[in-house]
Structure 1
Amino acid sequence: MKQRIFRNARIVTATEEFTGSVVIEDGLIQRVDRGDTSVTGAEDWAGDWLMPGLVKVHTDNLEKHLSPRPGVLWNAHSAMLVHDAQCAAAGITTVLDSVVIGDLDEGGARSQTQHTSIAALHQCRDESLMRVAHLLHLRCELSAPDMLEVFHQYADDTLLTLVSMMDHTPGQRQWRDMASYRRYTERNGRYNEAEFDAMIAQRKADQQAYSLPHRVEIVRECQARNLPMASHDDTLLSDIAQAVEERVVMSEFPTTIEAAQAARAAGMAIIMGGPNMVKGGSHSGNVSAAELAQLDLLDIFSSDYVPSSLLLATFMLSALDGWTLPKAVRTVTCNPARAIGLQDRGEISPGLRADLLRVRMNRAGMPMVIETWFGGTRAF
């Protein structure tokens, strides 16, 4: 592969920021130097930031393309490739595609797309159609009756990198606020009082019947395979205590400061959503990402349902007291990479993958991805 040199760039390493140059060759970073260079053929980045490619461990973006409107299902291969292109344009070079298994809505979009989306993920990778790296994150809806059967089909999938355990039963965790839950459930159609009450009763009955036995089995299967596990919407100290006992390594979207503090004390990585940071709070009325960041209780940003939120959230985070741009960049690069066992990316350092971003601040004060490089090849 041809050697490339990027000069006059504001390089963001894991610990500092400086103007310098980077040499890449054969898909790897060969050298990182301070100051300018006069080497012939070096590409002038004109003071733009040079950052590691972003790594995201949780995204709902694929779902938006699989079911763009209520009742509409899209071709999974087409959805996957558009999702991939959006990730590259957002500066994301490694993405764990989050596929929910277990559908709380009988016959819902998730139950109709879980298999086709995973098949499309493999086929598009096998045909080298992807711009960036894609792996699999199974999001297990514990109270769904069919969840365990589907999990067993994919427990040994070669792309499976992370398993998260969720319980979206109303009245607890994410949905403690029933008014927020009703607004969310009625986004695609209204319930009358009798229908809403019946739905709540069914959700709670399913939780009673399935959540705990399903969780026990998922933990057993993941431990046997050394698969990293994440808990989801931890709220109470008992939620964290349970996760610690199960050897869960990440707390996704804790809903309270108390849960986040307990996760930190237990050595769990704390994940919050980029949209929460950008929008200034949780759409469910739970603790905000900024609140946790100000208490230094934030390790990883997830893009959740907006790929472009990662970069914007990073720069917003860097403006908070106690945060710097290198520390903020770690939440979307090396921290998530290390949390899922990837040691070969996430930093601007010799010997690592040349997954790189060129970022420029526009006149409106928004960081913009100008170029995305994946393994030394331009992906956007």
Structure 2
Amino acid sequence: MLNEQILTHARIVTAEQVFNGTVVLRNGLISEVETGLSRLPHAQNLNGDYLLPGLVELHTDNLEKHLSPRPGVDWPQASAVMSHDAQIIAAGITTVFDALSIGDVNPKGKRMQQLPGMIEAIAQASAAKMTRAEHRLHLRCEVCHPDTLSVFRDLVEQPLVQLVSVMDHSPGQRQFALESKYREYYMGKYHLSDAQMDEFVVEQVANSKTYSDRYRRAIVDICLVRGLSVASHDDATLAHVEESAAYGMTIAEFPTTLDAAQGCRRLGMSVLMGAPNIVRGGSHSGNIAAAALAKEGLLDILSSDYYPASLLQAAFVLAAQLEDNEQGTGLARAMATVSGAPARAAGLTDRGEIRVGLRADLIHARGHAQPDGVTLPVIQQVWRQAKRVF
């Protein structure tokens, strides 16, 4: 049949279960999902490997690494986008929200100057169908920066912008409740002396008091008018969560405490945590571990954040932790955190699961047992809308 592909002898992971069977693709969509094997000559035999839904990534700043591969090196933006896209699709991510930061707290940084060109490069590559993953934009708004609101007003007009998060990385609260962790992180990242760091702390605290509350309200109001999904960032207390929910935010990125995550669940906010947190076994900032939230049933979405390949690996690590006496539902539940749940949170109802009628965004992965007993998935093929892209 025209535009038909058959993938058989696959270990299919749906939203509810894992079973051996066959998936038929027609015209970019999943048209059949069945148990059993196909004997048709044109069926592709996956030899018992995993067939998984394509990953949906809501928050990755991976593009910035390709724009500035070394200190002082500015890489051509179109080339950087393509290199980033290749890494994203090789990680099994078929829909990616490229997170671009507005409000660079780095005193030596170039993020603000790079933003317009980055957005234009992504838009042009997408329009020309040069990318293998589907790219959308996530504007990360550092509300303690003086220029954030004015820059946001300019950039939010770009049609690819579909997710916005608001954050305040000033010391003494949220992610950096411990100023010692703040100093350790930024002195290491930006190579500041003790005197420079002292000046940096004073400036960031003052800017937070001056701008944060006002800019947060204004940005959220603009997003709600435009129908954009809005996420909070590093909520640490129930008061933070209540404020975020009152603003109409529906996603809570990286809550730092159990109390905050519990508040998110009560108030209907989806909890997003870092996949590297799962793979490494904890937070690099000393905050609550994502696995601890998963154990409490409070983890909804995983994001690769700074390491694209962590997303699928984290799902398999999480699956081992979630597995119980039920019949193989651990992997199905874990995969939902990197596919179906982020898709729904972003308003994308046409993808994120292996289900009849949805987009044929799929991953063929081979599982390799590791000494710790956790399966390491190695990606063999990736399809986006039934077109093989890896």
* Smaller-chain TM-score bracket: over 0.9
Task: Provide the residue aligned with 1:358 in structure 2.
Answer: 364
The CA deviation at 1:107 is 5.5
Cα pair 2:106 2:190 within 8 Å, conserved: no
Task: Provide the residue aligned with 2:354 in structure 1.
Answer: 348
Task: Provide the residue aligned with 1:28 in structure 2.
Answer: 29
Cα pair 1:177 1:285 within 8 Å, conserved: no
For 1:175, what is the secondary structure of its paired residue?
coil
Letter in 2 for 1:266: L
1:93-122, Cα deviation, whole Å (9 max, x unpaired): 000000001111345121122111101010
Letter in 1 for 2:177: R
Q: Does 2:387 match 1:377?
A: yes
1:44-67, Cα deviation, whole Å (9 max, x unpaired): 000001011000100011111112
Letter in 2 for 1:359: A
For 2:60, what is the secondary structure of its paired residue?
coil
Q: Does 2:361 match 1:339?
A: no
Q: Distance in 1 between matches of 2:162 and 2:27?
A: 26
The CA deviation at 1:179 is 2.3
The CA deviation at 1:74 is 1.6
For 2:272, what is the secondary structure of its paired residue?
strand
**Compared CA separation, residues 327 and 209, structure 1 to 2 (3 A):** same
Task: Provide the residue aligned with 1:126 in structure 2.
Answer: 127
**Compared CA separation, residues 167 and 189, structure 1 to 2 (3 A):** closer
Cα pair 2:187 2:197 within 8 Å, conserved: no
Letter in 1 for 2:283: S
Q: Distance in 1 between matches of 2:197 and 2:188?
A: 13
- 5 Å-filtered alignment, 1:133-282, equals 133-188=134-189, 190-282=191-283
Q: Distance in 2 between matches of 1:179 and 1:279?
A: 22
1:109-166, Cα deviation, whole Å (9 max, x unpaired): 2112211110101010111100010001000000011111111112222111110001
For 1:199, what is the secondary structure of its paired residue?
helix
TM-score, normalising length: structure 2 = 0.95
Q: CA RMSD in A?
A: 1.3
Task: Provide the residue aligned with 1:2 in structure 2.
Answer: 3
Q: Distance in 1 between matches of 2:123 and 2:353?
A: 27
The CA deviation at 1:195 is 2.1
1:252-273, Cα deviation, whole Å (9 max, x unpaired): 0000011000001101000000
Cα pair 1:70 1:188 within 8 Å, conserved: no
Q: Distance in 2 between matches of 1:42 and 1:220?
A: 51
The CA deviation at 1:33 is 0.8
Letter in 2 for 1:169: S
Stretch moving more, 167-176 or 177-186: 177-186
The CA deviation at 1:2 is 2.5
Q: Distance in 1 between matches of 2:38 and 2:194?
A: 70
Gaps of 5+ in 1: none
Letter in 1 for 2:286: G
Task: Provide the residue aligned with 2:70 in structure 1.
Answer: 69
The CA deviation at 1:190 is 3.9
- Alignment partner for residue 367 of structure 1, among 377, 381, 389? 377
For 1:247, what is the secondary structure of its paired residue?
coil
Stretch moving more, 199-208 or 170-179: 170-179
Stretch moving more, 71-80 or 241-250: 71-80
For 1:353, what is the secondary structure of its paired residue?
coil
Task: Provide the residue aligned with 1:330 in structure 2.
Answer: 336
For 1:371, what is the secondary structure of its paired residue?
strand
Stretch moving more, 131-140 or 358-367: 358-367
1:183-204, Cα deviation, whole Å (9 max, x unpaired): 2212245433332211100001
How many residue pairs get aligned? The number is: 380
**Compared CA separation, residues 132 and 191, structure 1 to 2 (3 A):** closer
The percentage of counterpart residues that share the same residue type is 47
Letter in 2 for 1:165: V
Q: Distance in 2 between matches of 1:209 and 1:76?
A: 34
Q: Distance in 2 between matches of 1:45 and 1:132?
A: 22
Q: Distance in 1 between matches of 2:241 and 2:190?
A: 35
The CA deviation at 1:92 is 0.4
Gaps of 5+ in 2: none
The CA deviation at 1:69 is 2.1
